[in-house]
Amino acid sequence: MKIKEILPRWSNKKIKNGSYSIGMTAFVIAVIIVLNLIAGELPSKYTKLDMSDEQLYSLGSQTEQIAEALDKDVTLYYIAESGNEDPTLKEVLDRYADLSGHIKVVQKDPVLYPNFTSQYTDDKVSSNSIIAVCGEQSKIIPYNNIYETSINYNTYSYETTGFDGEGQITSAIAYVTSEGLPTMYVLEGHNETQISASMQEAIEKENIKTEDLNLLTADQVPDDADILFIYSPQSDLSSEEKDKIITYLKSGGKAFITSDYTGKDMPNFEAVLQEYGVQTKQGVVVESDANHYAGNPLYLVPNVSSGSDITESLTGRYTLLFGAQAVEKLEDARTGLSIQNLLTTSDSAYVKEDVENMQTLTKEDGEEEGSFPLAVAISETVEASTEEEEVTEAQSEAESQGLTENESETGTEGTTETAAETVAETDTDTETETEAAADTDAGKSKETRLVYISSGLMFDDQLNSKVSGANMELFTNALGWMCDHEVSVSIPSKSTQIEYLTLTAASARTWSIVTMILLPVLALATGGVIWFKRRRR
């Protein structure tokens, strides 16, 4: 075949079409590569959707706020052997790294770096544990703290019930970036309710240390007390204990106080509350509004205030209290006290005073009815105490006298000590400035803060679980408010089991009518209409 016969087959048009196809293919491939590179730089929350029912990989608003507020670098060391990583935990860590430029995640293989953890602890660190580090501060998160387990009594084996990765990691970040840990003293000696394991875990997540305190043997509430916790005492305080608590509060102290109905007179306990403008009414509160109780009128589902830092995160959620008492604001309370309701009943609640002889939960003649506060937050600005001011004045007077004597002696010694005088005056000026600054600090005002809840049972594990941790979140929010934490770490673990649906009595009745009556009737009516139309044909 001649070349001239072959050439027509390869016309210019075909060559152009082929070149165009090749060029477009190359262009599309280049675009795909660029898009992949861009996607690789995007945060994982945009490129990897959390499809888990429990939203195990998603990070909440509290974590985002803490990450945004970081001004220090935090490194999260993930101690895991290559190929044996926990995929859920690794994905969560990747999302932390995407939150802030101050957070870096570094995996350390214990096989390659066997001595790495020894610089942070002498104990053995289990695989898939995390070490949070910021400067000289560090905190270890053991792997067994990340997953919650409980025994299954049907199989007598342990099973995983919750994933607490976010709560533990966020708490560790807050811990290593904080300047110092606040201390909460827990009052004992009056048969107080014991702090449960879940409450202790919530306190630790808030990065607060706890110490026991017996005011019968202690001279005062310790100076390093950031919070005093009085957890539902079953017997009254002594007069001396009452005075020590009030003295502590008057100096700008903070207290979290709860009570449960005991049927006993507790005048000294009440005196502490009365000093801050509130007291409890005799008896327990009963709800008649079906939208404000769950199953039983003693299980109260109160209105949650939206105007407080303590309850802001609970907007649109339920809290649950049992056997609460009504809190009454005193008319003669000091004008400087700020008393804010946190939880209140409906307008149709009433008080049963004679609980021991109560025969019915329905309202009877003579029983007080209305909207009652069940939890309050109280604050008061206090100035430097008179004793502090007297000490400051005495120190200033002594310093002034000492300075006059020094000047007199210097005048008789002559001019040969001029240089020494200059040095002495400079030192004196420096000391005076330092003391003046100290005096200014001593004169600064402080703020007393107190939270009182009339049902300590609201922090019972069973009640807390029925509202998906909202009760415990209120507790940690209150601790954060008293410690001036910008963001409270009240992140509950994510359940890997059945979630409870909390319904008020009214909602339960409504859905019972819908599912047991309306839907069956609607189905029968629809079937009847269809049957009738077919029969007519």
Report the share of the chain in percent with pLDDT over 70. 78
CA gap 226, 214 in Å, rounded: 16
Mean per-residue pLDDT over the chain, rounded: 83
Instruction: Tell me the mean pLDDT in the region 313-333.
Output: 94
Instruction: Tell me the mean pLDDT in the region 507-535.
Output: 81
* Interior angle at CA 273, CA 270 and CA 276, nearest 5: 150
Instruction: Tell me the mean pLDDT in the region 109-124.
Output: 94
CA gap 287, 293 in Å, rounded: 6
User: In this predicted structure, what is the pLDDT of residue 38?
Assistant: 66
- Tens of pLDDT along 148-162? 887 776 777 777 878
Confidence of residue 4 (pLDDT cuts 50, 70, 90): low
Q: Which amino acid is at 512?
A: S
User: In this predicted structure, what is the pLDDT of residue 190?
Assistant: 97
CA gap 299, 321 in Å, rounded: 6
> Which spans in 281-385 are helix H?
none
Instruction: Tell me the mean pLDDT in the region 420-432.
Output: 43
User: What CATH architecture is 61-162?
Assistant: 3-Layer(aba) Sandwich (3.40)
Query: What is the sign, positive or negative, of the torsion defined by CA atoms of 341, 345, 346, 347?
Result: negative
CA gap 91, 199 in Å, rounded: 28
User: In this predicted structure, what is the pLDDT of residue 148?
Assistant: 81
Confidence of residue 422 (pLDDT cuts 50, 70, 90): very low
Residue by residue, what is the 3-state secondary structure of 167-210?
Answer: HHHHHHHHHHHCCCCCEEEEECCCCCCCCCHHHHHHHHHCCCEE
Q: Measured over all CA atoms, what is the biggest interatomic distance in the chain, rounded to whole angstroms?
A: 132
* 3-state DSSP assignment of residue 239: helix
Count of CB atoms situated within 10 Å of the CB of 252 = 18
Task: Considering only residues 153 and 365, tell me which one the structure prediction assigns the higher pLDDT.
Answer: 365
Instruction: Tell me the mean pLDDT in the region 262-289.
Output: 96
User: In this predicted structure, what is the pLDDT of residue 27?
Assistant: 80
* 3-state DSSP assignment of residue 520: helix
Confidence of residue 525 (pLDDT cuts 50, 70, 90): confident
Confidence of residue 13 (pLDDT cuts 50, 70, 90): low
CA gap 373, 380 in Å, rounded: 19
Report the share of the chain in percent with pLDDT over 90. 54
Is the pLDDT reported for residue 42 higher than 70? no
User: In this predicted structure, what is the pLDDT of residue 485?
Assistant: 76
CA gap 174, 74 in Å, rounded: 10
Task: Considering only residues 418 and 483, tell me which one the structure prediction assigns the higher pLDDT.
Answer: 483
- Tens of pLDDT along 427-479? 444 444 444 444 444 456 899 999 999 999 999 998 998 898 899 999 999 99
User: In this predicted structure, what is the pLDDT of residue 45?
Assistant: 53
Sequence-distant (6+) residues with CB within 8 A of 294 are: 301, 320, 466, 502, 503, 504, 505
**pTM for the model:** 0.72
> Which spans in 254-349 are helix H?
267-275
Confidence of residue 499 (pLDDT cuts 50, 70, 90): low
* 3-state DSSP assignment of residue 156: coil
Q: What share of the chain is helix, strand, coil (3-state, %, to 5)?
A: 45, 20, 35
CA gap 232, 269 in Å, rounded: 10
Confidence of residue 16 (pLDDT cuts 50, 70, 90): low
Provide the CATH topology of domain 181-383+445-495. Answer: Rossmann fold (3.40.50)
In the block, tokens 């067994």 appear at 144
CA gap 252, 369 in Å, rounded: 36
- Tens of pLDDT along 373-410? 999 999 999 986 544 444 445 445 544 554 444 444 44
The values of phi and psi at residue 156, to 5°, are: 55, 45
CA gap 391, 393 in Å, rounded: 5
User: In this predicted structure, what is the pLDDT of residue 8?
Assistant: 55
Q: Which amino acid is at 170?
A: T
Instruction: Tell me the mean pLDDT in the region 246-254.
Output: 96
Burial class (CB in 10 A: 0-12, 13-18, 19+), 361: middle
